[in-house]
Amino acid sequence: MLNIEKALVICAHPDDEVLGLGGTIKKMTNAGVEVNVLMFANGNEGYTDLKDKEHIVEIRRKEREAVKDILGIHTYEAYDYGDYAIPANETTYKMCLQAIRKYKPDIVFTHYWREYNTHKAVASIVSDAFWQAGWNASLDLGEPWKAKSLYYFEVIELLAHVSHIVDIEATFEAKMEAMRAYASQCTVVSGALQQIEGKALMRGAQAGVKYGEAFLKSIDKPEVVR
Amino acid sequence: MLNIEKALVICAHPDDEVLGLGGTIKKMTNAGVEVNVLMFANGNEGYTDLKDKEHIVEIRRKEREAVKDILGIHTYEAYDYGDYAIPANETTYKMCLQAIRKYKPDIVFTHYWREYNTHKAVASIVSDAFWQAGWNASLDLGEPWKAKSLYYFEVIELLAHVSHIVDIEATFEAKMEAMRAYASQCTVVSGALQQIEGKALMRGAQAGVKYGEAFLKSIDKPEVVR
Amino acid sequence: MLNIEKALVICAHPDDEVLGLGGTIKKMTNAGVEVNVLMFANGNEGYTDLKDKEHIVEIRRKEREAVKDILGIHTYEAYDYGDYAIPANETTYKMCLQAIRKYKPDIVFTHYWREYNTHKAVASIVSDAFWQAGWNASLDLGEPWKAKSLYYFEVIELLAHVSHIVDIEATFEAKMEAMRAYASQCTVVSGALQQIEGKALMRGAQAGVKYGEAFLKSIDKPEVVR
Amino acid sequence: MLNIEKALVICAHPDDEVLGLGGTIKKMTNAGVEVNVLMFANGNEGYTDLKDKEHIVEIRRKEREAVKDILGIHTYEAYDYGDYAIPANETTYKMCLQAIRKYKPDIVFTHYWREYNTHKAVASIVSDAFWQAGWNASLDLGEPWKAKSLYYFEVIELLAHVSHIVDIEATFEAKMEAMRAYASQCTVVSGALQQIEGKALMRGAQAGVKYGEAFLKSIDKPEVVR
Amino acid sequence: MLNIEKALVICAHPDDEVLGLGGTIKKMTNAGVEVNVLMFANGNEGYTDLKDKEHIVEIRRKEREAVKDILGIHTYEAYDYGDYAIPANETTYKMCLQAIRKYKPDIVFTHYWREYNTHKAVASIVSDAFWQAGWNASLDLGEPWKAKSLYYFEVIELLAHVSHIVDIEATFEAKMEAMRAYASQCTVVSGALQQIEGKALMRGAQAGVKYGEAFLKSIDKPEVVR
Amino acid sequence: MLNIEKALVICAHPDDEVLGLGGTIKKMTNAGVEVNVLMFANGNEGYTDLKDKEHIVEIRRKEREAVKDILGIHTYEAYDYGDYAIPANETTYKMCLQAIRKYKPDIVFTHYWREYNTHKAVASIVSDAFWQAGWNASLDLGEPWKAKSLYYFEVIELLAHVSHIVDIEATFEAKMEAMRAYASQCTVVSGALQQIEGKALMRGAQAGVKYGEAFLKSIDKPEVVR
């Protein structure tokens, strides 16, 4: 699964990439994989004190920069949608098509459809764009690119089915550090760090390793076996 | 289920609250529960004669006022969306978050996801808002509030699963009266009153009472047992 | 199923009507059925060479005209939405309601819900409009009309359940000719003609005929048996 | 749906045929349709007083005879399985195949899969036998017979989807009389008669008639349209 | 949920009751609730060395006795089915009906349907028996008893939906001790203790407590609200 | 997917292995993979003339021998269950466990759950045995063996999701020859050869090759990524 050159992560909010696959990102970048991240929301709702309302977007931008260094992410492509305002429409769909054609990833990671509204919207457009990016059409969005596989990660809801568990023992501490770097969000979601640890332990236990991250490989589009 | 102080009903159109849970609303208000209702649509499509097109919104506003008295509803928060025009977007999502934080209900009632377009949109945003209203975020929408439970009612489609049937024998007549007060809609949906009676009898029969209203308690978010 | 006077096909893109039910359309028009087609998208993304970008909409308009003659379609009602830009909203919903009330079809054909984004949007609004067109409401959109049945056809995904297979042996060549008339799309989807032949053979084999087209009759709304 | 010559009902227990489709059976027999009923269980568990244990099977046999006359059923093929002991195995499967080949029905009625254990077993074997009875195999079970359609009726659970509602106003009283003839069961299921009335009213209201019975037409096997 | 007098746990194998709800059992017995456990299998397959084959059933019987003391279980009703040989048939169904009528529990706990074969069989018969035990029938199996609620616990698969998380911080150590008492199984399932800890931490984190156990309340049968 | 040393196919009836994956078997054996096949039924129902009833089992045994040579199958492990009589019980479950431990396959192929009765039974026991064969238990059934992957093939129903399409252009003729060797079945299922061709063309077209066979990789059990 991870024996690749390039990966593209498309998520909704700043911190979803850490919660969902922070350990796997670090594992990949440690191994020399180029990991690019596209995120739609600017984090504007994630403040716990009214006086932070004006600054929260800037705060989260800085946090994201720190996370970039911690996880070794190559590029963050970050957009300015509000946290509750990511639509599944022509504009966002084309952003996904364009990103896949630009970064030419071997594999794509995104949200699972059974999450809440904006995560669901991202899951839906990425699932379709993953496939349509390979069509011989819409050439102004870049040359057609067929990524090999699409994986769903888990943030809010546990995956109903898990096809892969990645051993993240060696990078678990980096995941925790990245989450701590998203300091503003550790107060929004109470017990965020404990949740990360509990989930990593449980997914690890299912795989017979210390810490794990769970993924579901999409089975919507067939792979051709020659 | 109904041993509470405050309930919030969020529905799409003027009359959904009566069709779905008119008897239960009256049962609650009789028992001293404060029931607030938020509805999105203004009823602009519900006319059966072209000459009523200009007046239908005003007609339904007046009907709603009558229903308020009949059922003992505390507040109607009524918006001006067209009947076919309730979007699931940032604006409507924030309206739900804000209403939950403002009314601080013990329980929330809304549409079931397996209904048609606008009902589906309301079901979706309320299900997410019920949960996110309790997050320590978006403080300009009010103080975080965790309602205890979320219940889905049935209007167009029967619920596929029913977790609760409320005995509405004592308030069935008030439900019928409220529906008759929505006089304009009794001509739109032919046999509306017969449908109410048939459904109430069948749900009652399932519960061993004369008249019933059916609900499905959401199982999406865990309740903590200490 | 086809012993009728009028049929209405509502699809997303120019060529979906051929891929999904070209053989059945021709079979109906050969038998004197009036077949009207409403399509939302203008085909703006379906070019395989950047220099065609400016002309593709016009190219596809002309292709559609040729298909009209080949299949004997009575009217094409074609809108100007971008290929990735068909929303499920009040406007498109009313377009469907209005078309059903205007053409007064015995049966309606549309996309299946398990396709990709824009197809899914069309599937959703048509399924609801099929039913709400018969309501005694929204009279400025035309007189209420209750079509008898709604059928889903298959374009991208195979139908998970198939309720009817239409024998298209006599009109299979017309289907192929219509697809060849959509010449621009035969380069977008590589092997489009082979796909049509393979699917027609397989669906035919399931029914014991040479070539077939598969449909799923909607079971969402009950038919009354007197 | 009912414009036929012969129908076959396959159910689990004595009274399922009345609860599920008593009104429709009478409507068919009134119209000259030959209706045959195959039931697996002998009713051995349906006693409410220990002293009836020895006699209950005989009691229910006599009740069934009375129901036969009331509804105008042509043949009851009744087996001797215990009420909780109907297996889905080779023997019961062959009984279904054989019955379909023997009675040569135009349509078959059976339980819906979403009921409880024995009903689920019957739903499963009949659904498969409906289709395999038409295979050119197992000739010692009779000549291959392809029935036109398979319909599921509702007894314990409401159907999640309803494709047909039969108007049973003219035969509703016969249905009630048949249920009263199953006197032993009216004490087992408290409020059985009220349940029948409530459900008939609600299904009728959904169809715009006084009393109705709901069915789901199976969409598992395609119908060929020539 | 746990403010009750009596609970009945029905599971497949010796250790399922510990893996699924050991902490909750101990929490109940600490609070004075009478907890009875019915298990079908004798544990005959759970040996990791051929020389233990003859003794494994006896070994597990003794382990179960130790667990009884550790968790404060009132009665173990243990049957002699092979580990891969628990059928869903009349006999096991009646065993469940009889147990529910005999122990008269307020709530029943059992496996979730989405587990593997024998767990699935138990889930199925208990779900039906929970409801049919309240029928006025089969009086030789005891007086009709309507338990209030039915809860599913998780052993092999995570629950797809979780309605309740029980805080088991105070009894987590007893759960671990009980699992260690099932010493023979700690070698069959490698990392069994780690799995218990990981899952308890993750379920705890979801609920904001240290250790948790997850349950899904059945929504198949309505509760009557008077 | 096919870059392996050993494969095990577990199916219900003689001919399911050809219909489902005849081309893929031949492709594997051509490449030196050892392919073993376990089938449960003896074919006793597959006669189209009563005078063949006595001989059909022997006829199909001989046909199977011919198919073995045509496809290059290493071993047929064929049991004597009747065609409608394959139970999902302890005996058949242990047969699957034992076969997996004996043949030590890299990958296992079996029926998809959404087929009819006996196919469903095989799908269910193989799915569980695939996973439990790797447990450190039931040592008299052989040493624990963890196969890498489990794939479902399609016989009666099309797969609802397809994860892999195998290019069988080079072995399609062998598949047809193998089916013709099952001469007795070509009269049972009318148009069997046409069905094979139609399906192979359609699956091929989906993959951009001439002939294909479709598979769904099981996602029930996670693969560990180290």
Q: Phi and psi for B177 in degrees, rounded to 5?
A: -65, -40
CA distance C125 to C79: 16
CA distance F14 to chain E (A): 25
Residue among D15, D44, D45 with most chain E CBs within 10 A, to mutate: D45
Task: Give the side-chain half-sphere CA count within 13 A for C33.
Answer: 25
Mean predicted confidence (pLDDT) in A103-110: 98
Which of helix, strand or coil describes residue A75? strand
Residue among E50, E54, E116, E124 with most chain F CBs within 10 A, to mutate: E116
Lowest mean pLDDT among A39-48, A52-61, C128-137, F181-190: F181-190
Across A4-67, where does the E strand assignment appear?
6-11, 34-41
* pLDDT for the residue C218: 93
A53 touches chain B (CB under 8 A): yes
Contacts of D165 in chain C (CB under 8 A): 222-225
CA distance C121 to B143: 36
CA distance C147 to A80: 45
Contacts of F202 in chain C (CB under 8 A): 195, 198-199, 201-202
pLDDT value at B190 more than 80: no
The sign of the dihedral angle between the CA atoms of D101, D103, D108, D110 is negative
Amino acid at site D24: T
CA distance E225 to B213: 10
Q: For chain C, what is the HEC assignment?
A: CCCCCEEEEEECCCCHHHHHHHHHHHHHHHCCCEEEEEEEECCCCCCCCHHHCCCHHHHHHHHHHHHHHHHCCCEEEEEEECCCCCCCCHHHHHHHHHHHHHHCCCEEEEECCCCCHHHHHHHHHHHHHHHHCCCCCCHHHCCCCCCCEEEEECCCCCCCCCCEEEECHHHHHHHHHHHHHCHHHHHHCCCHHHHHHHHHHHHHHHHCCCCEEEEEECCCCCEEEC
Note whether ipTM > 0.90 here.
Answer: yes
Contacts of C164 in chain D (CB under 8 A): 222-225
Which domains does chain A possess? 6-215 (3.40.50.10320)
Task: Give the model confidence (pLDDT) of D38-55 as tens digits.
Answer: 999 999 999 999 999 999
Task: Report the neighbours of F using a cutoff of 3 or more CB pairs below 8 angstroms.
Answer: A, C, D, E
CA distance D19 to D196: 7
Which candidate from B201, B206, B208 shows the least CB-CB separation from D197? Answer: B201
Q: Do B224 and E209 touch (CB under 8 A)?
A: yes
Chain E and chain A touch, per 3+ beta carbon pairs within 8 A: yes
Residues 178-197 of D with CB under 8 A from B: 190-191, 194-195, 197
Task: Report the neighbours of E using a cutoff of 3 or more CB pairs below 8 angstroms.
Answer: A, B, D, F
Chain D and chain F touch, per 3+ beta carbon pairs within 8 A: yes
Q: Do C117 and A131 touch (CB under 8 A)?
A: no
* pLDDT for the residue A221: 83
Q: Do A137 and C45 touch (CB under 8 A)?
A: yes
* pLDDT for the residue C91: 98
Q: State the DSSP string of D142-209.
A: -S----SEEEEE-SSSPPSS-SEEEE-GGGHHHHHHHHHHSHHHHHHSTTHHHHHHHHHHHHHHHHTS
E163 touches chain B (CB under 8 A): yes
Contacts of C136 in chain B (CB under 8 A): 48, 187-190
* pLDDT for the residue B188: 87
Which residue ranges of chain E lie beneath pLDDT 50?
none
CA distances (Å), E206 to each of A44, B221, D135, E166, in order?
24, 10, 54, 11
- Nearest by Cα to F145 from F99, F185, F179, F83: F99
pLDDT value at F190 more than 80: no
* pLDDT for the residue D194: 86
Task: Give the model confidence (pLDDT) of F146-166 as tens digits.
Answer: 999 999 999 988 998 999 999
Which candidate from F93, F132, F140 shows the least CB-CB separation from E50? Answer: F140
CA distance A155 to chain B (A): 14
Which candidate from E53, E87, E188 shows the least CB-CB separation from F136? Answer: E188
Mean predicted confidence (pLDDT) in C191-213: 90
Per the model's pLDDT, the better-predicted residue between B192 and B108 turns out to be: B108
Contacts of A57 in chain B (CB under 8 A): none
- Give the ranges where F145-214 is alpha helix by DSSP (H): 172-181, 183-188, 192-207
pLDDT value at A1 more than 80: yes
Task: Report the neighbours of D using a cutoff of 3 or more CB pairs below 8 angstroms.
Answer: B, C, E, F
- Backbone region of residue A59 per phi and psi (left: phi > 0; alpha: psi in -120 to 50; beta: other values): alpha
- The three-point CA angle A150-A164-F143 to 5° equals 140
N- to C-terminal Cα separation, chain E? 19
* pLDDT for the residue D205: 87
Which candidate from A50, A53, A84 shows the least CB-CB separation from B93? Answer: A84
Task: Give the model confidence (pLDDT) of B145-156 as tens digits.
Answer: 999 999 999 998
Chain F and chain A touch, per 3+ beta carbon pairs within 8 A: yes
CA A43 to chain centroid, in Å, comes to 15
Pairing of strands D149-153, D212-217: antiparallel
* pLDDT for the residue E89: 97
CA distance A167 to chain E (A): 14
Mean predicted confidence (pLDDT) in D98-121: 96
Nearest CA in chain A to F217: A219
Q: Do A117 and B136 touch (CB under 8 A)?
A: no
- Taking a C-beta distance cutoff of 8 angstroms, is the pair E77, E10 a contact? no
Residue among F96, F139, F221 with most chain E CBs within 10 A, to mutate: F139
Residue among E56, E84, E182 with most chain F CBs within 10 A, to mutate: E84
Token readout for C94 is 């009313």
Q: Phi and psi for D6 in degrees, rounded to 5?
A: -140, 140
Q: State the DSSP string of E189-220.
A: STTHHHHHHHHHHHHHHHHTSSSEEEEEE--S
* pLDDT for the residue A190: 73
**Radius of gyration, CA atoms only, chain F:** 17
| Beta-carbon contacts below 8 Å between B and C | 37
CA distance A226 to D220: 33
Task: Give the model confidence (pLDDT) of F23-57 as tens digits.
Answer: 999 999 999 999 999 999 999 999 999 999 999 99
- Nearest by Cα to C60 from C39, C36, C77, C42: C42
CA distances (Å), E108 to each of B223, C147, D115, F221, in order?
18, 49, 20, 29
Q: Do E166 and B225 touch (CB under 8 A)?
A: yes
- Nearest by Cα to A157 from F221, B221, B223, B218: B221
CA distance E162 to B74: 34
Token readout for B85 is 């025009």
The average confidence (pLDDT) of chain B is 95
Task: Report the neighbours of A using a cutoff of 3 or more CB pairs below 8 angstroms.
Answer: B, C, E, F
Task: Give the model confidence (pLDDT) of D135-151 as tens digits.
Answer: 999 999 999 999 999 99
Nearest CA in chain B to C222: B157
CA distance C9 to chain B (A): 20
* pLDDT for the residue D65: 97
Cβ-proximal residues to C116 (8 Å cutoff; 6+ apart), any chain: A128, A131, A132, C156
Which candidate from B162, B222, B226 shows the least CB-CB separation from E222? Answer: B162
Task: Give the model confidence (pLDDT) of B62-105 as tens digits.
Answer: 999 999 999 999 999 999 999 999 999 999 999 999 999 999 99
* pLDDT for the residue B149: 95
- The three-point CA angle F191-F196-F199 to 5° equals 115
Q: Within a 10 A sphere around the Cβ of B3, how many other Cβ atoms?
A: 8
Mean predicted confidence (pLDDT) in D6-14: 98
Q: What is the DSSP letter of A8?
A: E
CA distance F150 to chain C (A): 22
- Taking a C-beta distance cutoff of 8 angstroms, is the pair D9, D25 a contact? yes
* pLDDT for the residue C189: 79
Residues 194-213 of C with CB under 8 A from F: 194-195, 197-199, 201-206, 208
CA distance D209 to B48: 22
- Nearest by Cα to C97 from C158, C144, C156: C144
Amino acid at site B42: N
Pairing of strands E149-153, E212-217: antiparallel
Mean predicted confidence (pLDDT) in F87-109: 98
* pLDDT for the residue D38: 98
* pLDDT for the residue A92: 98
Contacts of A13 in chain B (CB under 8 A): none
Task: Give the model confidence (pLDDT) of C166-181 as tens digits.
Answer: 999 999 999 999 999 9
In this prediction, residue D221 has a pLDDT band, given cuts at 50, 70 and 90, of: confident
* pLDDT for the residue D143: 96
Amino acid at site A12: A
* pLDDT for the residue A22: 98
- Nearest by Cα to B150 from B45, B60, B223: B223
Amino acid at site E118: T
pLDDT value at C37 more than 90: yes
Contacts of F93 in chain E (CB under 8 A): 84, 117
B137 touches chain D (CB under 8 A): no
Strand order in the sheet with B6-11: B75-81, B34-41, B6-11, B107-111, B149-153, B212-217, B164-167, E223-225
Token readout for C190 is 């590589």
State percent of chain A over pLDDT 90.
Answer: 87
pTM of this structure: 0.96
pLDDT value at F14 more than 80: yes
Length of chain B: 226
Q: Do C93 and B87 touch (CB under 8 A)?
A: no
